[in-house]
Structure 1
Amino acid sequence: MKAVKRNQEILSDRFEIAFNQIHKCLIDELGGKGEDRFKFLLDIGSSKHSLVRSFYDELCQFAKLRNAIVHEKTDHGYYIAEPHLDIVERAEQIAAYFMKPEHALSIATKAVMIFEENDTLRRVLECIKKHDYTRFPIYNTKGEYQWLLTASDILNWMTKQLNDNVINLDDARIKDLKIKNKKQKQVEFISKSSSIFKAEEIFEKYHNDNKKLEAIIVTLNGKSDEKPLGIITSYNLIEIEY
């Protein structure tokens, strides 16, 4: 009997440790306004982070179980509510996700094709045909980021160049597609070590400011003069699975 009781106590302790780890991560990511209630942080986080959304229902149930364990404890080592082993292991699994979230690079489009402004448009079209890419960072000869070329930019340009059902690409250069005095598409840079949380927060900030962020470019240290390692768009965030 004592062995069973001790085992139940260990399960409760393990569950509470996992719950507290998740709670601390939520506070670190979403706190700062003097409000650190678990359910409040869940509600805030579900609108910002896919990780919270993915486990929202389970975490709400964990909160109820945790309250029953902590607040309805009748004696030392005796709990009215006891978590089953599978619940404890699930809580520990989710806690591990929160304590070490995936790097943003893990959801990025890895093979990034870059060009210079003097490169021919034909080269870009060949790349689209071969790889089906839609976004191309444009750099200068010093390896410094200049602007982002998209497939829609190319389509718009080609539409304007159409003459008697013919488009002449012989002398077309990427620089011809850069519209003078027009605000370029918004792009942000983050480091290779940045988490998915960081990428989501950046997109969320632009959304709240009623601005469109075309992409996040991942580099080694998050600098615009470094080789791009991946590109993240809002579509990448939607496809996140845990």
Structure 2
Amino acid sequence: MRNSDRFLIAFNSIEKILRKHAPYDHYVPFSRLIGYVKKYNPIVMKYYDDLKEFSDLRNAIVHDSIDVNYAIAEPHDQVVQLIEKIEQELRQPMKVVPLFQKKVTTFQSTHTLKDILRAINTFSYSKFPIYDKQKFLGLLTKDGITNWIAKHVDKEPLSFSNVYLKDVLTHEKKKDENYRFIHQEMNIYDIKDIFRKNVEEGTYRIDALLITEHGDHKEPLLGIITLWDMMHLQ
């Protein structure tokens, strides 16, 4: 199959996908279509400039060709590979499960600060979901732990074995806002958008996204995603 044929197949598929999510009940040019969809679709936002160039290339292939069996422009292999990659991501973007699915180490409110410090030393953990039996209490971070230590550094004697995590958790700034539960069907572009908007708004920092089947805090954890995870995701 010619590169021009592969290109047009992928382009037409992309256009069909995007038109399903556009508010227009009439035809609009592709450039206007992607301009609208990019406002809420992080995949289109990511590839917006490429899609604009692909629109010009599609017009050259379709409208400027002098014969149905002759394409005035044959896209390079890299161009075809990219547009097929975009089409695949739009049609079936990677989801957080199974990509980030893993056993999450959780702690009970009656565990001690010594337990947490051992976990940091052994596993280099930095985010700690805290529960009271099955009830989720909050997400403890290294910042929260540091805040507790700073508050009590001059108090003697200082014994980490007698400090319960339910008390340390109260030193977590904005402890009700430093996490969010998400459902397992969310895709990686939705997740990137959550972190991006969080950074841009700058009101508070989301330290981690906690994955459950339906995004309910009462459900078992299926995985955890941090900003560091997203920064290192290709």
Corresponding residue for 2:163? 172
Counterparts of residues 110-125 of structure 1 (less than 5 Å): 110-125=102-117
**Do 1:109 and 1:232's aligned partners in 2 also have CA atoms closer than 8 Å?**
no
CA distance in 1, matches of 2:136, 2:171: 17
Asked if 1:215 corresponds to 2:178, the answer is no
Matched with 1:101 is 93
Counterparts of 1:114-193 in structure 2 under 5 Å? 114-141=106-133, 143-163=134-154, 167-179=158-170, 183-186=174-177, 187-193=179-185
- Mapped to 1, the partners of 2:230 and 2:33 lie a distance apart of 23
User: What percentage of aligned pairs have identical amino acids?
Assistant: 31
Aligned AA (1:145)? F
- Equivalent residue for 2:221? 228
Runs of 4+ in structure 1 over 6 Å off:
33-36
Gaps of 5+ in 1: 1-6
Quote the residue 1:237 is aligned against.
230
Alpha-carbon offset, residue 158 of structure 1: 1.0
Contact 2:34 2:48 (C-alpha < 8 Å) held by counterparts? no
| C-alpha contact (below 8 Å) 1:107/1:236 kept by paired residues | no
SS in 1 for 2:207: strand
Q: Is the 8 Å Cα contact of residues 19 and 33 (structure 2) preserved in structure 1?
A: no
How many equivalent residue pairs?
A: 230
CA deviations over 1:180-237 (Å, ceiling 9, x no partner): 8974242221222221122233334545654332221111222111121221122222
Kept in 2: contact 1:219–1:230 (CA 8 A): yes
2:213 is aligned with 1:199: no
In the alignment, is the contact (CA less than 8 A) between 1:46 and 1:52 conserved in 2? yes
Provide the rounded CA distance (Å) in 2 between the counterparts of 1:44 and 1:203: 19
Please give the secondary structure, in 1, of the residue aligned with 2:160.
coil
1:60 shift after superposition = 4.3
- CA distance in 1 between counterparts of 2:233 and 2:98 reads 10
CA distance change for structure 1 residues 117 and 152 in 2, over 3 Å: closer, same or farther? same
Q: What SS class does the counterpart of residue 162 from structure 2 fall into?
A: coil
The TM-score normalised by the length of structure 1 is 0.76
| Residue deviations 1:131-176 (CA, integer Å, cap 9, x gap) | 11111111221x1222110011101111222137973213100011
Amino acid across the alignment from 1:144: K
Instruction: Please provide the CA RMSD for this pair.
Output: 3.5
The answer to whether the 8 A contact 1:190-1:219 is kept is yes
> Greater relative contact order: 1 or 2 (C-alpha under 8 angstroms, separation 6 or more)?
1
Q: In the alignment, is the contact (CA less than 8 A) between 1:107 and 1:237 conserved in 2?
A: no
Q: Would the alpha carbon gap of residues 23 and 144 (structure 1) be closer, same or farther in structure 2, given more than 3 Å must change?
A: farther
Q: Contact 2:147 / 2:171 at 8 angstroms: preserved in 1?
A: no
Q: Quick check: 1:215–1:233 contact (8 Å CA) kept in 2?
A: yes
Contact 2:183 2:211 in 1 (8 A): yes
Paired with 2:74 and 2:172, the residues of 1 have a C-alpha distance of: 66
Give the equivalent residue in structure 2 for 1:73: 65
Q: Which residue is 2:4 aligned to? A: 12
Q: Which runs of 5+ in 2 are unaligned?
A: none
